[in-house]
Homo-oligomer: A and B are copies of this chain.
Amino acid sequence: MAGKPILHYFDGRGRMEPIRWLLAAAGEEFEEKFMKTREDLEKLRNDGSLMFQQVPMVEIDGMKLVQTKAILNYIAAKHNLYGKDIKERALIDMYSEGVADLNEMILYYPFLPPGDKEGRLAQIKEKARNRYFPAFEKVLKSHGQDYLVGNRLSKADVHLTELLYHTEELDSTVLANFPLLKALRTRVSNLPTMKKFLQPGSQRKPFDDEKCVEAVKKIFS
Contacts and interface: CB of A to CB of B under 8 A. Distances in A.
Interface of A: 51-53, 61, 63, 65-71, 73-74, 77-78, 86-87, 89-91, 93-94, 96-98, 101, 131-132, 135
Contacts of A135: 51-52
B65 A90 contact: yes
B73 A61 contact: no
Each complex incorporates copies of this chain amounting to: 2
Contact of A89 (B74, B87, B96, B98): B74
Given A52-B132, A131-B52, A131-B53, A69 B90 contact: no
Contact of A87 (B51, B52, B63): B63
Contacts of A63: 87, 90-91
Given A69-B69, A74-B87, 4 more contacts: A51-B94, A67-B94, A70-B90, A73-B90
Given A51-B135, A52-B132, A131-B52, A87 B73 contact: no
